[in-house]
Amino acid sequence: MRRLARRAAELILEEVPRPDVSALAAIPADTARSLRRGRHPAEQLAELLARAWDIPLETTLTRVRSLPRQRGLTVVERRRNVRDAFAASSAPARKVALVDDVYTTGATADAAARALRRGGTRGVEVITLARVCRRWRVD
């Protein structure tokens, strides 16, 4: 993703209009996984989009605990897994666009948005590079 960040931002800029927000905020990385990966994809995207759209990058959203992997969890398990995983360390902007690389079930974005709202944000939008779509088999 490190090498693809610029292209990913270009794809978003081609398809997503500039949001009417006070700031952008990346979904905070899990510290242990970030150290292994190097840079966090959501942070890279947020930085590039903030620069392109001339929108401040919000840094008050933090991850307050490390999480087990989300892969393979049901929607309910994912929501439980990320509940209270984020906090606003100080008063965040009034209207924020959260940036993440992949939107799977929305559990992570929802938990991060809740933390921002608890901190004082009044409106939250979500911008992602990809949305996971699943086929549901009906027997």
**Would you call 13 exposed, middle or buried from its count of C-beta atoms within 10 A (0-12, 13-18, 19+)?**
middle
Domains of the chain: 5-131 (3.40.50.2020)
Q: Would you say residue 139 has pLDDT above 50?
A: no
Q: How far apart are CA 9 and CA 51, in angstroms?
A: 10
Radius of gyration in angstroms for the set of CA atoms belonging to the chain, rounded to a whole number: 15
Distance, first Cα to last Cα, the chain: 37
Write the pLDDT tens digit of every residue in 63-93: 887 776 777 777 788 888 788 889 998 888 8
Residue range 27-40: mean pLDDT, rounded: 67
If you average pLDDT over residues 55-59, what whole number do you get?
92
pLDDT in tens, 111-121: 999 999 999 99
pTM of structure: 0.83
pLDDT, residue 105, reads 82
pLDDT-derived band at 17 (thresholds 50, 70, 90) equals: very high
So what's the pLDDT on residue 38? 61
**Contact present, 124 and 98 (Cβ < 8 Å):** yes
Is residue 124 classed as helix, strand or coil in its secondary structure?
A: strand
Residue 15: pLDDT over 70: yes
